[in-house]
């Protein structure tokens, strides 16, 4: 039974759907997939078009609205919104170290997790659409990885879509994981340069912390290990609009005078843990490289691509930078195998992650021929020099999808949908309606 709640300006309704784990075996094991319906107060009975929101990730649950805020402020003018907790996340049947332990060994866990990519998410959405609205089409808004899922939707079930909005999520249709990371590392270098130009004092601050961690890795409050490589991965923040400032303020409080002299402060260690722990979203780490796996592009496994490709960019070697006097560079949206040693939330599923990295023959996620013949109206925001999604890939994909229109902007970073107060979505809706 659905449960309704009232919050400032909105009415939410809970929905739980039992869906096949493996859509190729619909009568087999079932999992729960949760979605939260959101409508503007006073419009509960209006016959509004539906807008499905596909969250970024992979492995990210939908946002938890506290009222009519953020991009919902604009969306609820026109739509009844469905916030999907993609399979394995949030209130859907969880996939984490605790639940996966019930499935048996690493092989069984990996086989289970192989069903959590974009193709399964889209097939979930289609079953949900038919149960909620029958034969009516709905609209979709895909943010980041949600945009990748939108391209998959357009490839395998476009008959379910009335229109599609994409923000920072036009994936390279024919890009392998290696291609993605070879393009990503130079972008991350530029984000480091911008950060150090804004906060030149951070060059020395980062070198001091890195030198300390290179000799003596620190223990985080949850028992995790802060190595110099883990410290570098705080650079994930640099792709968000406020990320550079957030990182700077974290560094400001790195040291405290202890009984034996300077030591890393509890404030800093707790702040680092909050950014580095995958306890709330382990699927992000486990599945991250598999989202690029397509047998027609690269029939082999992704094989810890970010780690292998990193060796082609020696400027990211912190110890070499410390010896040479160069700035220590942060990394970006990369998942490394050592994370499954340093993070307590990931350690129990390390073997399963290794098996997924070695897995071959991933099903194709995109159908270039079908996209070239696309009839669903699509508009997309492409953020200039997006740290997470390659702009060149995005524009090439835009040209490959029939009728797709782009808005290229450097006003916002990758999180523009979330932080723009509805401006990004408003622009895309206006484009869809030929108002701009």
CA–CA gap between residue 192 and residue 206 (Å, rounded): 12
Q: Are strands 405-409 and 378-383 parallel, antiparallel or unpaired?
A: parallel
Same domain as 140, residue 260: no
Same domain as 269, residue 252: yes
User: What angle (nearest 5°) sits at the alpha carbon of residue 326, between those of residues 323 and 332?
Assistant: 110
Same domain as 231, residue 159: no
Same domain as 106, residue 48: yes
Report pLDDT digits (tens) over 301-351. 999 999 999 999 999 999 999 999 999 999 999 999 999 999 999 999 999
Catalytic residue among 92, 139, 144, 277: 144
DSSP string, 377-433: -EEEEEETT-SSS-HHHHHHHHHHSTT-EEEEESSS-TTHHHHSTTHHHHHHHHHHT
| Burial letters 198-215, b for 16+ CB under 10 A, else e | ebeebeebbbbbbebbbe
Same domain as 188, residue 322: yes
386 is catalytic: yes
414 is catalytic: yes
- Of the candidates 308, 324, 358, which is a domain's last residue? 358
Q: How high is the mean pLDDT in each 10-residue block of the chain (436 residues)?
A: 85 97 97 98 96 96 94 97 98 97 97 98 98 97 98 98 98 97 98 98 98 97 97 97 97 96 97 97 97 95 97 98 98 98 98 97 97 98 95 97 97 94 97 94
Mean pLDDT of the chain: 97
Catalytic residue among 195, 414, 415, 426: 414
92 is catalytic: no
- Of the candidates 314, 332, 358, which is a domain's last residue? 358
- How much is the pLDDT for 3? 81
Same domain as 318, residue 169: no
Please count the structural domains in the chain.
2
Same domain as 184, residue 139: no
Q: How many residues does the chain have?
A: 436
- Of the candidates 358, 392, 414, which is a domain's last residue? 358
Same domain as 222, residue 156: no
Q: How many CB atoms lie within 10 A of CB 306?
A: 22
pTM above 0.85, yes or no: yes
Same domain as 148, residue 181: no
Same domain as 373, residue 324: no
- How much is the pLDDT for 2? 67
The sign of the torsion formed by the CA atoms of 115, 121, 127, 132 equals positive
Same domain as 341, residue 262: yes
| Inter-residue contact 43 to 138 (CB < 8 Å) | no
Range of the domain at 110: 4-173+366-432
User: What CATH number has the domain bearing residue 399?
Assistant: 3.40.50.1820
Catalytic residue among 178, 307, 386, 415: 386
Phi and psi angles of residue 42, each rounded to the nearest 5 degrees, phi first:
90, -10
Same domain as 328, residue 215: yes
């Amino acid at each position: 039974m659905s449960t309704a709640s009232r919050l400032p300006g909105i009415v939410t309704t809970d929905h739980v759907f039992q869906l096949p784990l493996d859509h190729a075996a619909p009568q087999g094991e079932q999992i729960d997939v949760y979605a939260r319906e959101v409508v503007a107060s006073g419009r509960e009975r209006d016959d509004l078009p539906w807008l499905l929101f596909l969250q970024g990730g992979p492995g990210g649950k939908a946002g938890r609205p506290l009222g009519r805020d953020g991009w919902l402020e604009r969306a609820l003018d026109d739509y009844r919104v469905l916030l999907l907790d993609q399979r394995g996340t949030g209130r859907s049947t969880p996939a984490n170290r605790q639940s996966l332990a019930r499935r048996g060994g690493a092989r069984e866990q990996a086989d289970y997790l192989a069903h959590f990519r974009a193709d399964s998410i889209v097939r979930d959405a289609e079953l949900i659409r038919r149960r909620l609205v029958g034969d009516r089409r709905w609209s979709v808004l895909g943010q980041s990885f949600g945009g990748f899922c939108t391209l998959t939707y357009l490839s395998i079930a476009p008959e379910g879509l009335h229109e599609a909005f994409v923000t920072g999520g036009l994936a390279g249709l024919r890009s392998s994981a290696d291609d993605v990371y070879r393009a990503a590392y130079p972008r991350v270098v530029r984000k480091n340069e911008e950060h150090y130009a804004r906060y030149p004092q951070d060059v020395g601050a980062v070198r001091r912390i890195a030198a300390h961690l290179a000799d003596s890795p620190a223990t985080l409050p949850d028992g995790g290990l802060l190595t110099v490589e883990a410290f570098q991965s705080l650079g994930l923040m640099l792709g968000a609009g406020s990320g550079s400032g957030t990182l700077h303020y974290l560094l400001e409080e790195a040291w405290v005078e202890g009984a034996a002299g300077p030591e890393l402060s509890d404030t800093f260690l707790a702040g680092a843990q909050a950014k580095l722990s995958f306890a709330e979203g382990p699927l992000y780490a486990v599945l991250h490289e598999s989202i690029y796996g397509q047998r027609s592009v690269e029939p082999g496994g992704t094989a810890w691509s970010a780690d292998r490709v990193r060796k082609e960019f020696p400027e990211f070697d912190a110890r070499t930078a410390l010896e040479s006097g160069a700035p220590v560079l942060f990394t970006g949206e990369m998942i490394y195998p050592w994370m499954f040693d340093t993070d307590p939330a990931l350690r129990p599923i390390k073997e399963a992650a290794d098996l997924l990295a070695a897995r071959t023959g991933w099903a194709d996620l995109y159908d270039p021929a079908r996209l070239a013949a696309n009839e669903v109206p699509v508009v997309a925001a492409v953020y200039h020099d997006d740290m997470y999604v390659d702009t060149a890939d995005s524009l090439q994909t835009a040209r490959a999808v029939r009728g797709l229109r782009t808005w290229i902007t450097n006003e916002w970073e990758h999180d523009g949908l979330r932080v723009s107060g509805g401006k990004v979505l408003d622009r895309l809706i206006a484009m869809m309606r030929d108002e701009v």
